[in-house]
Amino acid sequence: MALEGIHHITAITGDAPRNVDFYACLLGLRLVKKTVNFDAPDVYHLYYGDETGTPGSILTFFEFPGAKPGRHGDAMIHTIEWRVASEAALAFWAARLGDANVATERDGGALHFADFEGLRHSLLAVPVDDPPLAAGATDIPPEHALLGFHGVLAYARVPERSAGLLRALGFERGGDTDPHWRVTGAERHAVLEYDPPPSERGRTSAGTIHHIAWSVADDDELRDYRARAMAAGAHATDIIDRQYFHSVYFREPSGILFELASRDIGFAYDEPVESLGEALKLPPQYEPLRDELERRLTPLRNPRTPVAS
């Protein structure tokens, strides 16, 4: 038993329509679920991913309409690393992002850029054995598509404080001074790297990352990893039903919010794979509020939904 890399990463946006433009239309991810924040149902929770919403490809956003861009600082994940197949893919993305007026920086086998609210991404041309997780956007050649997460970079003042918990969860590193922690499942692996934080305090808001979820098989594994985290000193929540997965949350000792999420339910739970993300989906407790919520939420068209003629 091992964590199967990353399940999903959740960030914050202040502008859901522009968020869909950036992640679905420009980056070519598929909007696989349009729902609401289960803890605050009057705002969106949007999920992007590969063609079927496979764990390892899922980037989600809570929308806080009008939220100002935040700032990355200590105890926050500051960059998302994605895999692409080749250096040619990096050149494709440099051109495509440039055409959309998104500044990029090429650094060897990596291409760095940020979204319109400052959320930072790096595309890495790294040879890996993990199955590729691509969406099928019509205007992106399949050989250049994003292929799922490689890892994340986080700021931590004293990252050594996290070592005990990470080991308890099965993370490994090359040596005692190696800042790269690696978690290796049967099919997928992921890297968590700690960097020294900037002096300015961080602020969680638009363009920053709220939490990272690591992938477990099912409720049995969720219980087992929850117990491991608690034995290593974490204060973990009970198991929470998130409709498309079950979750446990705790802060790791450097302050980053970790979630463990199960992959045995999935996004086809309440709509067919062919039409993922087209309708607003609500958990049963919010169905009675559907009319009101549909009036209050900014209308959002899934780019995959055919326009009625």
Stretch that binds Zn ion, among 139-147, 148-156, 163-171, 207-215 (CB under 5 A): 207-215
Q: Which is nearer to Zn ion, 190 or 213 (CB)?
A: 213
Shortest Cβ distance from residue 255 to Zn ion (Å)?
17
User: Between vectors from CA 273 to CA 271 and to CA 275, what angle results, nearest 5°?
Assistant: 70
Residue from 11, 9, 8 nearest 119 by CA: 11
Q: Which is nearer to Zn ion, 213 or 293 (CB)?
A: 213
Shortest Cβ distance from residue 139 to Zn ion (Å)?
29
Stretch that binds Zn ion, among 48-56, 157-165, 229-237, 257-265 (CB under 5 A): 257-265
Distance CA 271, CA 278 (A): 9
- Contact string 212-241 vs Zn ion (x = CB under 5 A): -x----------------------------
Q: Binding to Zn ion by residue 209, rule CB under 5 A?
A: no
Distance CA 176, CA 70 (A): 33
Stretch that binds Zn ion, among 5-13, 32-40, 160-168, 216-224 (CB under 5 A): 5-13
Shortest Cβ distance from residue 10 to Zn ion (Å)?
5
Q: Binding to Zn ion by residue 10, rule CB under 5 A?
A: yes
Q: Which is nearer to Zn ion, 80 or 213 (CB)?
A: 213
Q: Which is nearer to Zn ion, 10 or 215 (CB)?
A: 10
User: CA dist 132 to 51, 82, 142, 263, Å?
Assistant: 11, 11, 11, 17
Q: Which is nearer to Zn ion, 130 or 259 (CB)?
A: 259
Q: Which is nearer to Zn ion, 10 or 57 (CB)?
A: 10
Q: Binding to Zn ion by residue 122, rule CB under 5 A?
A: no
Shortest Cβ distance from residue 188 to Zn ion (Å)?
17
Residue written as tokens 């609210």? 117
In the chain, the amino acid numbered 152 is V
Q: Which is nearer to Zn ion, 248 or 282 (CB)?
A: 248
- Residue of 78, 259, 297, 302 that binds Zn ion (CB under 5 A): 259
Stretch that binds Zn ion, among 8-16, 142-150, 186-194, 267-275 (CB under 5 A): 8-16
User: Between vectors from CA 213 to CA 7 and to CA 39, what angle results, nearest 5°?
Assistant: 115
Report phi then psi at 234, rounded to 5: -75, 150
**Residue list 37-76, contact with Zn ion (CB under 5 A):** none
Q: Which is nearer to Zn ion, 241 or 294 (CB)?
A: 241
Shortest Cβ distance from residue 32 to Zn ion (Å)?
14
Which two three-digit tokens encode residue 283?
């958990």
User: Applying CB under 5 A, what is the total number of residues that bind Zn ion?
Assistant: 3
Question: Going by DSSP bridges, is the β-strand pair 149-155/189-195 parallel, antiparallel, or unpaired?
Answer: parallel
Q: How long is the chain?
A: 309
Shortest Cβ distance from residue 260 to Zn ion (Å)?
10
Shortest Cβ distance from residue 208 to Zn ion (Å)?
15
Q: What are the residues binding Zn ion (CB under 5 A)?
A: 10, 213, 259
